[in-house]
Every structure is written in C-alpha cells, then in structure tokens.
C-alpha cells in the first residue's frame, strides 16, 4: 500500500491536473452543453471506466517493469518527466479548439459508450499514467503493483468527481461557456504551465532518488 503522504501528494497533484480542461473535460463539456445534464453525466461514467482500464494496465505494467530491473523503472520515470514537459510545451503552443454546441444530439447510452472510447483509445491517457504514477511509487516499501493500483483507483475516483462537476456546471452555464474566454485561457496557458512544472518536479524527484540509491 502507498504511504499516506504519497497518497495525499498524488491526490493533490491529480486534482490539479484533472481540473485543467483536457480532451476528456472538453468532451464532457460538449455533451453537457449540447445534450444536457443526463448525457453529460453518462459521458463522465464512460470516461471513468476508460480511466479504470488504463489504471489496471498501468499497475500491471509498472509492476512488470520493476520486476525486470530498477534501472528500467527509473528510465520510465525519466521518460515520464520528459513527456509531461513535452505536453506542456505543445499545450502552450497550440490554440484550443472551440466548444461545439451544434454537435448532433446523443442519448445517455451513446454518450457513455463514446466516453469509454474517448479514454480507452486515447494514447495520451496511457502515457499519462505511465509518466505520472511512477513518481509516487516507492519500491522499497514493497508491492509496487498494489501501490500503483491504489493510486490509480484514487485517480479514477477524483476524475469522476471533477468530471461530474464539469458536467453539472457546464449544463447550467451553457451560454456563459459559449461566450466566455476563461475556458480557452485555462486550457492553453494554465494547463501548459502546470504540465511543465510537474515534469520538472518529476525530473528532480528522479535525480534525488538516484542519489539516495548510490
């Protein structure tokens, strides 16, 4: 099991990341604005199931990597730090796509299935788990696979809560979201800065861990 401090640190970072609008949040907002609260919440359920699939896969994968060698595990952590910085730079350099309120209406069942597909088939979600989880796993505490699984479930639960909040708010504030400029600003500048910052923190943590092992 991960320590209480590691879980709290992971949960805090996960909340910050999940509150930043990304592809999943944009999908929830689009569905909620276009079709209402019901389909929006159904989309949240589908996205959460997709996150769960990636969490299970990441837990199994990280456990297998660590069983192979500690060097391979540290390599994954370094690649993860680099990936977070890369995503941040790309986010800062790209103009966010506008919310499309004219998408064809869908049923709650269809919104759910689309939500599953959005996350299960999104390689960025898998890369996020592989780059983010290792920063909070401590192999010296034993059972790294279980640590990864618990943290992954924490992420899924937090994601469900934050996505649900977006669905409820966006369905209630449809006109404001369509006219305002705050959401595009957050999606580009705030999101890019946070990703770069987390990447730098992850890289620093990797260096510290390597130093302690020497």
pLDDT digits over 107-161, tens only?
Answer: 889 889 988 987 776 656 676 777 778 778 887 777 778 888 999 999 999 999 9
- What is the pLDDT at residue 79? 74
DSSP state of 89: H
Q: How far apart are CA 28 and CA 51, in angstroms?
A: 14
Nearest to 33 by CA among 102, 95, 118, 98: 102
For residue 134 the two structure tokens come to 């290792």
Nearest CA-CA partner of 106 in 50, 27, 22, 179: 27
Q: How does pLDDT run across 157-168, given as a tens digit for each residue?
A: 999 999 999 999
pLDDT in tens, 20-46: 777 678 778 877 877 788 999 999 999
Residue 15 has pLDDT above 80, yes or no: yes
E strand or H helix at 4, and its extent? Answer: helix 4-19
Residue-level pLDDT at 191: 64
Contact between 166 and 174 under an 8 Å Cβ cutoff? The reply is no
Residues 104 and 114: their CA atoms lie apart, in Å, by 13
Alpha carbons 14 and 178: distance in angstroms, whole number = 27
Is residue 212 over pLDDT 70? no
Report whether 178 contacts 33 (CB < 8 A).
yes
pLDDT tens for each residue of 59-68: 887 656 655 5
Tokens of 17: 């990341």
CB 73 within 8 A of CB 209: no
């Amino acid at each position: 099991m991960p320590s209480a401090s590691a879980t709290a640190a992971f949960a805090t970072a996960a909340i910050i990341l999940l509150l930043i609008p990304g592809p999943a949040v944009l999908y929830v907002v689009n569905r909620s604005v276009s079709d209402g609260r019901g389909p929006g919440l159904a989309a949240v359920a589908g996205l959460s199931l997709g996150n769960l699939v990636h969490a299970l896969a990441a837990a199994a994968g990280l456990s297998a990597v660590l069983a192979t060698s500690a060097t391979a595990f540290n390599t994954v952590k370094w690649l993860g730090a680099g990936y977070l910085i890369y995503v941040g730079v790309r986010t800062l350099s790209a103009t966010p796509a506008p919310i499309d309120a004219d998408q064809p209406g869908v049923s709650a069942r269809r919104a759910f299935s689309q939500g599953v597909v959005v996350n299960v088939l999104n390689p960025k979600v898998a890369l996020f788990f592989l780059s983010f989880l290792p920063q909070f796993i401590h192999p010296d505490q034993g059972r790294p696979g279980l640590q990864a699984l618990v943290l992954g479930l924490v992420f899924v639960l937090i994601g469900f809560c934050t996505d649900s909040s977006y669905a409820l708010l966006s369905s209630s504030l449809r006109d404001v979201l369509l006219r305002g400029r705050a959401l595009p600003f957050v999606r580009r500048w705030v999101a890019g800065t946070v990703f770069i910052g987390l990447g730098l923190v992850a890289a620093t943590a990797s260096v510290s861990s390597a130093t302690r092992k020497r």
